Structure 1
Amino acid sequence: MTRKVRNLRWWIIGLVTLGTILNYLARSTLSVAAPAVKAEFGMTTEQYSWVVMGFQAAYTVMQSVAGAVLDALGTRLGFFLFALAWAVSNMAHGLAAGWQSLAVFRGLLGASEAAAIPAGAKTVSEWFPAKERPLATSAFQMGTSVGNMIAPPLVVFCILNWGWRSAFIVTGMLSLIWAVLWWFAYRAPEEHPCLDESERDLIANGQADDSATGRPANRREVVRSRAFWSIALPRFLAEPAWQTFNFFIPIYLFTTWQLDLKAIALWAWLPFLAADFGSLAAGLLPPLLMRLGAGMVASRKITMTLGALLMAGPACIGLASSPAAAIALFCIGGFAHQMLNGALITLCSDLFEKRTVATASGMAGTIAWIGGMIFTFAIGQSADTFGYNPLFVALAVLDFLGAGLLWMLLRPRLEIQKIHGEKHV
């Protein structure tokens, strides 16, 4: 007889979180290694931005595809295949002979890593009752910042001991190990032999609203729904901040403050530690607001808005008088972004049923990454000439606009329609 595991759903989301950590560790390896890679290949900031956009372009296109693949193949097989692909693609970076080949490998990595957030959202929708979804989403979302947080010390250690190419081999191997672990450990709740009946009933009863009729049932209905655009447009405006933090903090510290690799390793992980607390806030604040009388969807909207307002912090980076002050403002930005983004990702699980949540999340991610790619292009074209400071101000303005759009598009009437299952919310 198979041994039952208490609170198995939290072990499952822990496994997803570990996968997200390794996903973001892999993608963050280049940003930490960038000074060494740029020096060896003689890359300009514009060429580096093209390498980054190789990842972004593939990731942007593939998020919608990945979401549909996950809904078609199921979470277990789909996530396993994508994890294998990103592990191998990341290790291939060590074979790059110039910025052009690096951009190709970067594109392959982006295409395969695109499944992480849709897979996390789909897992939450399958394994958690509605009241627990904000905390479950914040848990796996914390993996995005933990991956970024551990990248600087680990990658710098590899570079100093074995060269920059080794960093991609090490981080890719870790993802490969996780893919095997996922294959053997994950099953859907109705199939998992270690899930006890009381927890199975808790999950099923908490998902009763998911069976409501009239919610978007396919890709076309998702795109036509107002609920989708109330998530996708704010994510389009918010994503540039996270991608700037991911890809350009080490370059900013190197260019603006002339920090070396060891100093970058000392400072660059701190904004992602703060981002973890932002993810935690995104999970804890909505239930608190609901206890105070806010509706389920309203609690997500308030959380997103508070995060957007905090983006005023990184807008002031141009006023920083030291690297420490700049990092402190980046920390506010990391906290703010993960807080608002966690609320937006949770809304996908709230407003779409299990069979379309990965598709909706993936398509919203595609639109978000279009925003990030446009902003990366702007950085590549202007940072060497005008500096980074105007760009940091723009990030805050975009999030303010995103919060306004969320309130405008996801009005109380829409929330009532969702609850009662009326068509085309």
Structure 2
Amino acid sequence: MKGYSEKPTRVRFKVLVFIFVSVVINYMDRSNISVAATAIGKDLELTSVQLGLIFSAFGWAYAALQIPGGVMVDRFGARLTYAFSLITWSLVTLLQGFTKGFVGLFGLRLATGAFEAPAFPTNNKVVTSWFPNQERASAIAFYTSGQFAGLAFLTPALVTIQHFLGWRGLFITTGAIGILWGIIWYIFYRDPTQHKKANKAELEYIKEGGGLVTPANEKGEKAKFEWGNLKEVFIHRKLWGIYLGQFAVNSTLWFFLTWFPTYLVEYRGLDFLKSGFLASAPFLAAFVGVLLSGFLSDFLVKKGVSLGIARKTPIIVGLLLSTSIVGANYVDNTSLIIMFMAIAFFGNGLASITWVFVSTLAPKHLVGLTGGVFNFIGGLASIVVPIVIGFLAQGGSFAPALVFIAIVALLGALSYIFLVGKVERIKVAQKPDSNLPM
């Protein structure tokens, strides 16, 4: 590359693979409960109401602790925070294999959500540190694709593990994998300036492109939480634009994570095996969508297109495509139903690079906290959407529920169009006594 006396290393891409694997493990430990649900219900003699409460437990704790999770990564850094999060959520996953009843399992699912809370704010912190603006959307798309890859490709593996080891063996196995990976993360991950294999040319390349290669607190002191920081991440209109947009993106996602198989079987009359096969198609479509989104966005940046257009276009187009889910209300052919679902989830994947706006807009010293608020509001969809859909579908028709998902997606697109505005980092006035340089 021009301008460097030595060729920049590419350590950042190895770091990105680490994040991808962490996201796959993250979603493996979210989805293992759905694979084991039937066997758990029979073995522990749980009612459908109790199973529903167990399903929701993760979302309540996960959403509630997003802001503390963001504060944690700002204060303790990505290396320690992610290792702690991985090992603790994996430990409670493993312990689920020994539970004896509803109370124990419910509590452990709450703990899983609580300990996973810092994960995505940490993902974003790492990418903001390691990647320049012109590569960041692709990086975010790559690690985000891990959630769709995990759901599409790991489900058969989880089913196989349960077939041979039972549901208890499933939790023990997946938990042990996560604990091992948490140890590997702590041993090998370093921030850019502390990584021995990242040369000066790579660090300069990242820094010149807007990457935060050094902590906002240059002195290496732990960032102190201040209530004024919390106020700061709530008072900007552009941040509310991405918060509401994330709720819309997650609303479509949580429909597919919770109600989609039930929709196919109970409301469309498909048999369980056939629905399981067909259900993978939208996840594969979303996987393609998120990868395409990141590469397209960064391609536009490199071609000189404004950052606002390059970043917003895939997200807005994706959210608008997600509204096509309502088309399933007007067809009866199975192939057409799946087609509309796949288009909608492809759009959801296309819109899933939303984390790039946290990296781009957040005040430098509040990237973790902004990510926590962003993921907190987005995480509310995991609570709201399943409940609202259940209410709308109780009359025997699923059509109102699909209209609801489409409307939320449309509102998400409008939030990016009218609220986000100019894409530039928010600058916070420096306090005279502050030790956090801007």
Contact 1:70 1:78 in 2 (8 A): yes
1:363 aligns with 2:361: no
Q: Is the 8 A contact 1:240 1:373 kept in 2?
A: no
> Counterparts in 2 of 1:14-413, with a 5 A limit?
14-41=17-44, 43=46, 45-207=48-210, 218-256=229-267, 257=269, 259-260=271-272, 262-263=273-274, 265-290=276-301, 294-319=305-330, 321=332, 324-342=335-353, 344-412=354-422
Once the two structures are superposed, residues 389-415 of structure 1 have per-residue CA deviations (whole angstroms, 9 ceiling, x without a partner) of 321221111011111122211224xx4
The worse-fitting range, judged by mean Cα deviation, of 170-179 and 22-31 is 170-179
Shift of 1:347: 0.5
Partner AA of 1:389 in structure 2: A
Paired positions, count = 412
Structure 2: state its 5+ residue gaps: 1-6, 217-225, 431-438
Contact 1:235-1:402 at 8 Å conserved across structures: yes
Give the whole-Å Cα distance in 2 for the aligned partners of 1:190 and 1:8.
12
* 2: CA distance, partners of 1:305 / 1:44: 41
Superimposed CA distance per residue, residues 90-125 of structure 1 (whole angstroms, 9 cap, x where no aligned partner) = 222223444443322211111111222111110111
CA distance in 2, matches of 1:385, 1:43: 25
How far apart are the structure 1 equivalents of 2:86 and 2:336? 37
Bigger relative contact order, structure 1 or 2 (CA pairs below 8 A, ≥6 apart): 1
**What SS class does the counterpart of residue 65 from structure 2 fall into?**
helix
How far apart are the structure 1 equivalents of 2:42 and 2:298? 49
Whole-angstrom CA distance in 1 between matches of 2:265 and 2:157: 18
The answer (yes or no) to whether the contact 1:189–1:200 under 8 Å persists in 2 is yes
Deviation, 1:49, is 3.1
Equivalent pair of 1:5/1:194 in contact (CA under 8 Å): no
Letter in 1 for 2:310: S
Instruction: Provide closer, same or farther for how the CA distance between residues 208 and 361 of structure 1 changes in structure 2, counting only shifts above 3 A.
Output: closer
Q: What TM-score do the two structures reach when normalised by structure 2? A: 0.85
Q: Which 4+ residue blocks in structure 1 deviate beyond 6 angstroms?
A: 208-211
Instruction: Supply the distance in 1 between the matched residues of 2:42 and 2:399 (Cα, whole angstroms).
Output: 24
1:33-89: CA deviations, max 9, x gaps?
Answer: 333334445555544332222111100011111111011000000010000111012
SS at match of 1:224: coil
Residue 141 (structure 1) shift: 0.5
Secondary structure in 2 matching 1:269: helix
Please say if residues 49 and 377 of structure 1, whose CA atoms lie closer than 8 Å, have aligned partners that are also in contact: no
CA distance in 2, matches of 1:91, 1:326: 38
Sequence identity, in percent? 26
* Structure of higher CA gyration radius: 2
The two structures, once aligned, show a CA RMSD in angstroms of 2.8
Task: Give structure 1 stretches of 5+ with no counterpart.
Answer: none
Cα-to-partner distance string for 1:176-213 (whole Å, 9 max, x where unaligned) = 121111111100000001112221221122127999x9
Partner of 2:433: none
Instruction: Identify if the C-alpha distance between structure 1 residues 423 and 392 changes in structure 2 by more than 3 Å, giving closer, same or farther.
Output: farther
CA distance in 2 between partners of 1:160 and 1:254 (Å): 22
- Partner SS, residue 141 of structure 2: helix
Distance apart, 1:28 and its partner CA: 1.0
Structure 2 CA distance for partners of 1:106 and 1:333, relative to 1, 3 Å = farther
Single out whichever of 72-81 and 106-115 deviates more from structure 2: 106-115
For residue 232 of structure 2, give the secondary structure of its aligned residue in structure 1: helix
Alpha-carbon distance in structure 2 between the residues aligned to 1:384 and 1:165: 33
TM-score norm. by structure 1 comes to 0.88
Shift of 1:315: 2.2
CA change 1:65–1:239 in 2 (3 A) is same
The 1-side partners of 2:8 and 2:300 are apart by: 31
Higher helix share: 1
Question: Aligned pair in 2 of structure 1 residues 38, 208: CA closer, same or farther (>3 Å)?
Answer: closer
